Amino acid sequence: MKKIYIKSIFIALFSFLLISCETTELNLQDNPNEVTPETASARFLFNSVQLQFEEFLGNEDSGTSESLNSLTLDYTRMTQVFGSYAYETARIDNIWTVAYNEVFQDALTLIPIAEAEGLSIHAGATRVLQAYTLTTLVDLFGDIPFSEANLGGANTNPKLDAGNDVYAAALSILDEAIVNLLDDSAPNIDNDLYFTNGDRENWLKVANTLKLKIFLQTRLANESASRNGINALLQSDNLINNASDDFAFNYLDVVTPNDSRHPIFVANYNDGSGEFMSNWYMKQFLDNNDPRIRYYFYRQQTSDPNASDIPCDALGNVELCYIGDGYFGRDHGDNTFTTSGMFQRNTTWGVYPIGGKFDDDSEGRTSFDDGAQGAGIRPILLSSYTNFMKAEAALTLGTTGNAGVFLEDGIRQSITKTISFGTLGENSDTDFRPSQEDIDIYVSGIMTAYNNASSTGKLNIIVRQYMFAAWGNGMEAYNVYRRTGSPSGIQSPDSDFPMGTFPRSFQYPAIVVALNQNVNQQSFTNQVFWDTNAANFID
């Protein structure tokens, strides 16, 4: 029965390509250049899947489409959202298309070839990327096509499958991935873009940590299953627990023949930065002497901006507008706009995680020659994240371990990883690197507040620190915010910038709604299956 079930899962997955020639113009069935099982190379396809997965997570330098990472960073006040929450549904087609037409298509071609060639580690790692992409689609949209997807002429309008069913399928895929990754006879990956040695042990830890994330994500919908699943994972503890295990895409400072720099670097270091940081998010670091502040943010100008650069100052009803010490961003939903000195005066991304410039008070307009020149990372699942997830589970589910210990470990791991970027590029952090005493004072203050807090207050502190550690990964913050409603005190839209209700999910891409009769556009207020909180739970 187990073999039959696994086979049915695979058949369903092979049907993932929802968007056939009837639903997009990307079908290549008659293209003689299309990669087929007879002509494909498992190693070549694995390289393709790795790059497609990175594109799915974020294409922030694109001027023609929205990035799921940039949208979720905006939603959670980590970066500044301009105007309302609404986005043009035609601009998110790329998120859906890359997932179905690229990641899944090449992955499902790759897996049987890799297994036939004895490349089980390639197959297992590919299944991990499949499962991550699949659960992220549910986290974004809720119900998605699955069981009836890509049946061609037999069904050009696949139905939407319930998000909890798709999550269950993802767990089964991860179980299959683990079987692949335990194959001792298979060689390691020789073209791994996420881990330097392509080691099966790294990918096993990613698979298990993704299962931890899934169980924690669904704790409100099925508390007992979440508790049991997490405790089983904690018993073996083969998770991303150390920086050497961190799951992140590694960028280079290479421009040609293919630009391999971090896309956020490309978008913000081209002769000045036009993107505003979130005043609220930066203020949390500034007010608390956070050791990560000079690594996360780079001030193109350290002096106060001119009044003409902050038109919000004249409105009178704006909460922050300018937070001081040269940290120049915008409030949540601030619609005011100015080109006066914007590209050379506003605060932008620093050296972590995008490979930009460390803030050593040197200021100056950003350029492609600055800092690590884009040789940063895209953080996906880091050891600090694991500890924050363990802490939340211990506090809310009573799972194994001490929530406070996990919290402190997570904070320290985040700080250590962040400051390790300080020596990248031409400007070292030698004169500004926080001392161990500085770090200890910062951590001690948080732990004192945690130990004196109520249960609700403890959760708020855990999530707050999780959000601070997740800089560069908006999806993690978006999920934990919807799941917990924390951190409290997150900035609401100012009265001068009215916005809609906080989006509990994404709307479907325009092309999907237009061409699939079984997909009706949904409201931003629709809640994914694991979000069982009240409708007015968060702003």
User: How far is 352 from 16, CA to CA, in rounded Å?
Assistant: 35
pTM score of the predicted model: 0.90
Q: How far is CA 44 from its chain centroid?
A: 25
Query: Which of 460, 382, 446, 391 is CA-nearest to residue 418?
Result: 382
| DSSP letter (8 states) at residue 221 | T
Coil/strand/helix, residue 262: coil
Spatial contact of 461 and 448, defined as CB atoms under 8 Å apart: no
Instruction: Look at residue 539 in the predicted model and tell me its pLDDT.
Output: 67
Q: How many other CB atoms sit within 10 Å of the CB of residue 252?
A: 17
The mean pLDDT values, 10 residues at a time, for the chain of 539 residues are 34 37 33 47 90 90 74 88 73 88 89 94 97 97 82 69 96 98 94 90 98 98 97 97 96 92 93 87 96 96 85 80 91 74 81 95 92 96 98 98 98 97 78 94 98 97 97 96 90 70 90 91 94 87
Dihedral sign from CA coordinates of 111, 115, 121, 127: positive
Same domain, 162 and 121: yes
Amino acid letter for position 496: D
For the chain, the first-to-last Cα distance in angstroms comes to 47
350-394, pLDDT tens digit by residue? 999 999 999 999 989 999 999 999 999 999 999 999 999 999 999
Spatial contact of 124 and 181, defined as CB atoms under 8 Å apart: yes
Q: CATH number for the domain including 445?
A: 1.20.120.840
- Number of domains the chain contains: 2
Instruction: Look at residue 63 in the predicted model and tell me its pLDDT.
Output: 60
Instruction: Look at residue 307 in the predicted model and tell me its pLDDT.
Output: 79
Same domain, 411 and 511: no
521 inside domain: no
Phi-psi region of 152 (alpha: psi -120 to 50; beta: other; left: phi over 0): left
Same domain, 18 and 118: yes
Q: How far is CA 78 from its chain centroid?
A: 12
Backbone angles phi, psi at 299, to 5 degrees: -90, 115
Same domain, 104 and 174: yes
381 inside domain: yes
337 inside domain: no
Same domain, 511 and 409: no
User: How far is 137 from 142, CA to CA, in rounded Å?
Assistant: 7
Same domain, 201 and 168: yes
Same domain, 511 and 395: no
Query: Which of 249, 197, 474, 477 is CA-nearest to residue 376?
Result: 249
| DSSP letter (8 states) at residue 244 | G
465 inside domain: yes
Half-sphere exposure of 414 (CA within 13 A, CB side): 28
Tokens coding 406: 């996990």
Same domain, 146 and 108: yes
Same domain, 454 and 511: no
User: How far is 57 from 63, CA to CA, in rounded Å?
Assistant: 16
Query: ω into residue 291 within 30 of 0, thus cis?
Result: no
11 inside domain: yes
Q: Please write down the long-range contacts of 338-342, taking CB distance under 8 Å and 24 or more positions apart.
A: 338/308, 338/309, 338/310, 338/311, 340/306, 340/308, 340/309, 341/301, 341/305, 341/306, 341/308, 341/309, 342/272, 342/274, 342/309
User: How far is 424 from 250, CA to CA, in rounded Å?
Assistant: 14
Spatial contact of 139 and 479, defined as CB atoms under 8 Å apart: yes
Q: What is the DSSP string of 16-81?
A: T----TTT-S---TT-TTS--TTT--HHHHHHHHHHHHHHHH--TT-SSS--HHHHHHHHTTSB--
415 inside domain: yes
Same domain, 401 and 479: yes
Same domain, 462 and 511: no
Residue-number span of the structural domain to which 406 is assigned: 377-484
Query: Which of 18, 43, 193, 22 is CA-nearest to residue 109?
Result: 43
192 inside domain: yes
Same domain, 178 and 108: yes
Q: CATH number for the domain including 191?
A: 1.25.40
234 inside domain: no
Exposed / middle / buried, residue 451 (Cβ in 10 Å: 0-12, 13-18, 19+): exposed
